[in-house]
């Protein structure tokens, strides 16, 4: 898989000069590190989408809103769902079909809307020819329901996952996590939104209903036949998809919208701006921030989420605003097409986050590449590749710990911790950013830099993984596991 990409990674691990010089940039309004895309050549921007022999005009397609999955049954405290994991031909590029791996035949997968404190059961049936599984990214779930990389659903098999949703409202997502296959499976379509609605948020009067829109952003490269091309350097995936459509448009009313932004790319950092318009960030990975942040740019690494409110009432009908990546160009255009009544608001205070207990343990975590005995690139955490038979950290139930995560490579990584959300203490010795006031589960660790995070491990016992969420990196072994013990 991705032999040429592996060779490039191998050069980085060995200190080869094949990598272009790395650069660091900062946001003008927040001093947030903006990682260089994988240390490779900057994706090219042009007047239309260019793929391997396929052209699609920007803003031609309409961005769909992912369908909402309906429960097959409900009780007083539980909603029950069923989904097939299936291969399907889907329409992404005009006039072509793309073979994909899907949840229920949909690219993006159907959205599951859960409620804080209300249990969800989802039974998945694997109708594909490869083992798969499902990880609820950002979910506080029992180990046997976390989508552990070795706990797979074999072809023809089924598995039921239980989600108790004992956490505040948040924008989560579900995706494949089968070891060595996660990068290919997610790239080919196995991803969908899982939104936890929190009744406590209703009094805030944030935009809701049709004005609460999840948007999955990712990149891709296509063959001339319409097939997804997964080999080579991820930086060459320069076709941007919003909810599965190439650089589409989306019609909005002149009022406030809540957009739930997710970076579902395997290996890309989006630096997003909306033609200078104000993006009011209200949420991060773990749910609402204590207070809204008024921004003009937003950085998301792979797996990160941010909810923003955009007030289109400031613009006359007929206005077009383009959401664009600072390096790769346009991603999505919003067209203001009508007026609408609006009783929503963004209050000055969103929620109170209790302080974490004092930490009693500090751990060191390094992310970096090496090579196996044959010279093949190998992802490593603390200088060792993932081994399901090895427990790297034993964590006492209820303990609060500080983890110092260091990127030892001249290319970017990021860090994702399963089972619990964390608080960001600092970024490379620099103070935490305003958006770090919330809770997170995924964070960028730029080349040669570090972060410190603090988390409490409670609720469940068992084994969970932590890893780089650049999925090509975790597929190569940049993953380790902890075990929560009594």
pLDDT digits (tens, 9 = 90+) for 351-364: 999 888 999 999 99
Cα(first)–Cα(last) distance of the chain, in Å?
A: 40
Mean pLDDT on 390-417: 98
Mean pLDDT on 201-228: 96
SS3 content of the chain, % helix, strand, coil (to 5): 10, 45, 45
Q: What angle do CA 186, 190, 194 make, to 5 degrees?
A: 110
Q: What's the mean pLDDT when you consider all of the chain? A: 90
Mean pLDDT on 471-484: 97
Main-chain dihedrals φ then ψ at residue 156, nearest 5 degrees? 85, -10
Provide the pLDDT for residue 57: 87
209-223: b (≥16 Cβ within 10 Å) or e: eebbbbbbbbbbbbe
Provide the pLDDT for residue 355: 87
User: In this model, does residue 20 exceed pLDDT 50?
Assistant: no
The Cα–Cα gap between 177 and 135 comes to 6
Provide the pLDDT for residue 310: 98
The Cα–Cα gap between 236 and 482 comes to 34
- State pLDDT tens for residues 300-346: 999 999 999 999 999 999 999 999 999 999 999 999 999 999 999 99
Provide the pLDDT for residue 54: 61
- State pLDDT tens for residues 100-145: 999 999 999 999 999 999 999 999 999 999 999 999 999 999 999 9
User: In this model, does residue 369 exceed pLDDT 80?
Assistant: yes
In the numeric block, which tokens belong to residue 279?
């993006």
Provide the pLDDT for residue 483: 98
Which residue's entry shows tokens 């075990």?
A: 483
Provide the pLDDT for residue 232: 83
In this prediction, what percent of the chain has a pLDDT beyond 90? 86
In this prediction, what percent of the chain has a pLDDT beyond 70? 89
Main-chain dihedrals φ then ψ at residue 223, nearest 5 degrees? -70, 165
The neighbour count for residue 288, using CB atoms within 10 Å, is: 24
User: In this model, does residue 41 exceed pLDDT 60?
Assistant: no
pTM of the model: 0.91
């Amino acid at each position: 898989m991705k032999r040429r990409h592996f060779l490039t990674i191998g050069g980085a691990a060995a200190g080869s000069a094949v990598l272009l010089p790395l650069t660091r940039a900062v946001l003008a309004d927040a001093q947030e590190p903006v990682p260089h895309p994988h240390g490779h050549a900057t994706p090219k921007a042009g007047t239309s989408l260019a793929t391997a022999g396929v052209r699609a005009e920007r803003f031609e397609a309409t961005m769909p809103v992912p369908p909402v999955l309906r429960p097959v049954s409900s009780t007083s405290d539980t909603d029950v769902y069923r989904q097939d994991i299936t291969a399907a031909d889907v329409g992404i590029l005009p006039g072509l079909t793309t073979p994909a791996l899907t949840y229920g035949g949909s690219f993006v997968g159907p959205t599951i809307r859960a409620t804080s404190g209300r249990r969800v059961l989802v039974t998945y049936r694997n109708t594909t020819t490869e083992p798969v599984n499902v990880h609820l990214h950002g979910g506080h779930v029992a180990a046997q329901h976390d989508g552990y990389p070795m706990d797979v659903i074999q072809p023809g098999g089924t598995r039921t996952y239980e989600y108790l949703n004992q956490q505040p409202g948040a924008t989560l997502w579900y995706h494949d996590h089968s070891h060595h296959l996660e990068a290919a499976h997610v790239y080919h379509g196995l991803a969908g939104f899982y939104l936890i609605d929190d009744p406590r948020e209703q009094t805030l009067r944030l935009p809701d209903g049709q004005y609460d829109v999840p948007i999955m952003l990712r990149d891709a490269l296509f063959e001339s036949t319409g097939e997804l091309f997964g080999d080579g350097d991820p930086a060459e995936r320069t076709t941007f998809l919003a909810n599965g459509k190439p650089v589409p448009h989306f019609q909005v009313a002149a009022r406030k919208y809540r957009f739930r932004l997710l970076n579902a790319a395997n290996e890309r950092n989006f630096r997003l701006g909306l033609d200078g318009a104000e993006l009011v960030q209200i949420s991060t990975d773990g749910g609402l921030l204590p207070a809204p942040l008024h921004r003009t740019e937003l950085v998301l690494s792979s797996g990160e989420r941010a909810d923003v409110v955009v007030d289109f009432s400031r613009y006359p009908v007929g206005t077009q605003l383009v959401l664009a990546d600072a390096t790769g160009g346009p991603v999505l255009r919003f067209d203001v097409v009508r007026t609408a009544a609006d009783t929503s608001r963004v209050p000055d205070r969103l929620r109170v986050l209790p302080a974490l207990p004092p930490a009693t343990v500090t751990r060191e975590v390094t992310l970096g590449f090496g090579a196996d005995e044959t010279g093949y690139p190998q992802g490593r955490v603390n200088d060792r590749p993932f081994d399901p038979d090895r427990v790297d950290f034993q964590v006492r139930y209820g303990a609060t710990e500080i983890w110092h995560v260091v990127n030892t490579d001249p290319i970017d990584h990021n860090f994702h911790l399963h089972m619990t959300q964390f608080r960001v203490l600092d970024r490379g010795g620099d103070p935490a950013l305003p958006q770090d006031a919330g809770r997170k589960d995924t964070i960028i660790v730029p080349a040669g830099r570090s972060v410190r995070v603090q988390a409490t491990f409670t609720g469940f016992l068992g084994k969970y993984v932590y890893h780089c969420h650049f999925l090509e990196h975790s597929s190569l072994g940049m993953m380790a596991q902890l075990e929560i013990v009594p």
